[in-house]
Amino acid sequence: MDGKIAIEEHFVTPELEDLVLNPGWSPEAFRAVLDRLEDFEGERLRIMDRHGIETAVLSLASDGIQGIAEPAEASARSRQANDALASIVAARPDRFAGFAAVALQDPAAAAAEAERAVHELGFRGVLVNGYSNAADPSGAGLYYDDERFLPFWEAIERLRVPFCLHPRNPLESQRAIYDGRPELLGPTWAFGVETASHALRLIVSGLFDRFPSLTVILGHLGEGLPFATNRLEQRLRRRADVTLERLPAQVLRENFHVSVSGNYHTASLIGVLLELGADRVMFAADHPFEDVADGADWFDSVPIAEADREKIGRLNAQRLLRL
């Protein structure tokens, strides 16, 4: 399919390299990834052309701003990253769009930066790499169901742009289950568990009852949540301490979109279509952390209705991101 819009594509610049987490690769392999993240006119465009991707929506690679503990520094670096991305998009507006980075270490500053990024820089949404590091010696993380973030969520709903919750590894203090099995960290398993749990915190907090028009994007076909909501709701209904106007399955269908990034599995896609509908799924290639050919070739031939392929490949992102 030509004309695809890929919504989870990553970037960095030489000045921002310190914000990209090396997941344990050799220096040579990590350098090669950084080079691909910093390429906007060469191989990146050739790969997009080869695989029918018209537009890539770029976002700062993980851990990005969320890995900075000091709020003032995080806010300054988010502005730096957004200004850099705005220049990249301005040079090729026919091929690139942007998601803003914000520093939720300071919720008020994050709301202000989101406003600037959307209104002044023309970004199409906000992408955050999971919880934010806290500026205290405990090593705690900031999860966004806390009431201190309500002004930020109010701003995102008012801006009418989506919030993308991108994965990162769990806190160091929460990794005991992975002891001795580091191969399960990262995208193999821990990313999905961490991000799905964070999304559930948002849902069961009643956030979407407060802000019914808020839109969240999850990658990787929803981090497993579309397949878990029936069991989840069965147990939540038995708890007197949970009083939600809408239960998780309804919130997923009404407030969430998912992308196919890095989860190119036909049976899973069919299940997500049955649970959420074709209007809630979008294409993503996750360049350069995934092989674009894997995702694009699979998507172009996956046995779904052509009308659904057009929605997932292009139309849903056009509508949601106002491209």
Task: Count CA atoms closer than 13 A to 127's CA, side-chain side.
Answer: 29
d(CA 107, CA 151): 7
Angle of CA points 198, 203, 205, to nearest 5°:
95
List of E strands, the chain: 4-11, 53-60, 96-98, 126-129, 132-133, 141-142, 163-166, 216-218, 256-259, 281-282
Q: How far is CA 269 from CA 3, 7, 303, in A?
A: 20, 17, 10
Alpha helices in 207-258 (DSSP H): 207-210, 229-236, 248-255
| Active-site hit among 146, 286, 297, 308 | 286
Is 83 in the active site?
Answer: no
Residues 79, 113: contact at Cβ < 8 Å?
Answer: yes
Which among 214, 184, 179, 178 has a CA at the least distance from the CA of 199?
214
Residue 95 phi, psi dihedral angles, 5° rounding: -125, -20
Element (H, E) at 113: helix 107-119
Residues annotated as catalytic (active site), given as ranges: 286
